[in-house]
Amino acid sequence: MTQIRPSLLKLLAPLLAFAATLLVLVALGGGGGIELPGRSVGVDVEVPPSASTDQRIAALQRAVHDGLADPGGYASLGDASLQKARENGDPSYYSRAERSFDAALRRDARNVSALLGAGTLAGLRHDFHEQLRLGLRAHRIMPELADPLPVIADAQVELGRYRAAAGTIQRMLDLKPNLASYARVSYLRELSGDLEGAVEAMRLAVSAGAGVPESVAYVQTLLGDLELQRGRPAAARSTYRAALAWLPRYAPAEVGLARVRIARGDLAGAARRLRTVTRRLPLVSYVTLLADVYRARGDERAAARHLKVVRAQQRLLRAGGARPDAELVVFEASHGDPTDAVTLGRRLWAQAPSVRSADALGWALTRAGRPRAALAWVLRALRLGSRDPVFRLHAGLAARRAGRPNLAARHLRVALVGRSALSPLQARDARSALEAVR
């Protein structure tokens, strides 16, 4: 069957009209769940293809201990450590991965697998300048290879280098029209507010990923998230279930089904599902959502208990070398000290001028009682045309508090179209604010 090789310029037409004036782009999430480049292991290291991540780590560690691992073997151990961090949410595996990639590069400074692994790790730690540097270095060593391009593109997007990112993704499509390239096109379409186009590209990603269960489950879940933004919880539910058919107990899809329950008013069912997921994988976003569900049900004690878990998880992330990100800024603004959140938000913007950074700083300023300053930032976050309901909620609340009721109403209506993607407290706030400005 002939593969489709779409032109990125055509896929991104809604965005290109604004490219000259745009300052920021939102994160692709580091590409952590979509087709990390394959790595070779040392020539004397035997790891069965069916091996679990723990078995893979054990075999590679034995090879390292016995002196059998070549630079590729060290790089593979680093990749396996990153995979383990994805599976259990333990950021201490970032440090283990770093040691492995460093060991590989000490033995061979031009090892592309190690460079890309280190670049992926830099992105996960929100050091996007380093991610870009390593990706470009790998690309210079092997310019014919497609593997460096996702690392490069993700960093370019985070750093607001829109035209460069578009060119990189077009090159990805030309060389390898696969799940990774289609997923990135989908995200760029989403940024422009073209949710239908984003769904179209994500469906291509699903089709291109057949045979790799985790990758397909990942993009199926992203497709479900898009359906929630479009106000289609039934379609989202079907998509999340399809993801779980590929990979049972896949946490992001389980959380998606919890969001569907929230959208349908079943907070008890959502809490049950979220409790099961967070016991296994206590990621910040999952635990925060569970705390919001408890608060919406009036259980402030349980909510406070889970917010303490979030604070502990943030400390672990920092210990693992991660820089502050938009999620931390929004959390601190909503549940901590808004003044500290503003400081973090300004630091974040200086490091990674993305749409998410602009939104986070705007929300922090709103919560700190500075809605006029906030409004400039939340509107900057929307300059690409995003219909993200959280961004729109933040814009609506800032506009309302800044004395701009008509502007507030416009953004709040968009937020409520995608209320299925909001937490129960966010949806309640959007409805209340809209009623107040009518």
pLDDT tens-digit map of 408-431: 999 999 999 999 999 999 999 999
**Integer angstrom CA distances of residue 297 from 57, 273, 301, 304, 425:** 43, 15, 11, 13, 10
Q: Is the pLDDT of residue 227 over 60?
A: yes
Residue 6: what residue type?
P
Handedness of CA 99, 104, 106, 111 (dihedral sign): negative
Q: How far, in Å, CA of 92 to CA of 173, rounded?
A: 34
User: In the prediction, which pLDDT does 176 show?
Assistant: 87
* The pLDDT value given to residue 104: 95
Query: What's the predicted TM-score (pTM) here?
Result: 0.84
Q: For residue 398, is pLDDT > 50?
A: yes
Could you tell me the pLDDT band of residue 45, with boundaries at 50, 70 and 90?
Answer: low
What pLDDT score was predicted for residue 14?
38
Tokens representing 379 are 């509107």
Q: Which of the four pLDDT bands, split at 50, 70 and 90, describes residue 212?
A: confident
pLDDT of residue 427: 96
pLDDT at 35: 41
Give the chain's domains with CATH numbers.
Answer: 324-438 (1.25.40.10)
Token representation of residue 39 = 């790595």
Could you give the CA distance from residue 330 to residue 358 in angstroms, rounded to a whole number?
Answer: 11
CB pairs under 8 A, 24+ apart, for 53-62? 53/80, 53/83, 53/84, 53/87, 54/84, 56/80, 56/83, 57/81, 57/84
What's the chain's average pLDDT? 87
Does position 121 have pLDDT exceeding 50, yes or no?
Answer: yes
pLDDT band at 44 (very low <50, low <70, confident <90, very high): low
Q: What mean pLDDT do residues 302-327 have?
A: 83
Q: Is 163 or 111 the better-scoring residue by pLDDT?
A: 111
Segment 173-186 mean pLDDT: 92
Percent of the chain whose predicted confidence (pLDDT) is above 70: 88
Q: What was the pLDDT predicted at 320?
A: 65
Residue 246 burial (CB < 10 Å; 0-12/13-18/19+)?
A: buried
pLDDT at residue 13 is higher than 70: no
pLDDT-derived band at 437, boundaries 50, 70, 90: very high
- Which residue blocks in 281-337 are alpha helix, DSSP H? 284-296, 300-319, 326-335
Tokens of 46: 């035997």
DSSP 422: S
With a cut of 70, say whether residue 6 has pLDDT above it: no
Q: 129-138, 241-250, 313-322: lowest mean pLDDT where?
A: 313-322
- Residue-wise pLDDT tens digits, 267-285: 999 999 999 999 988 888 9
* pLDDT (0 to 100) of residue 88: 76
The stretch 379-402 carries a mean pLDDT of 96
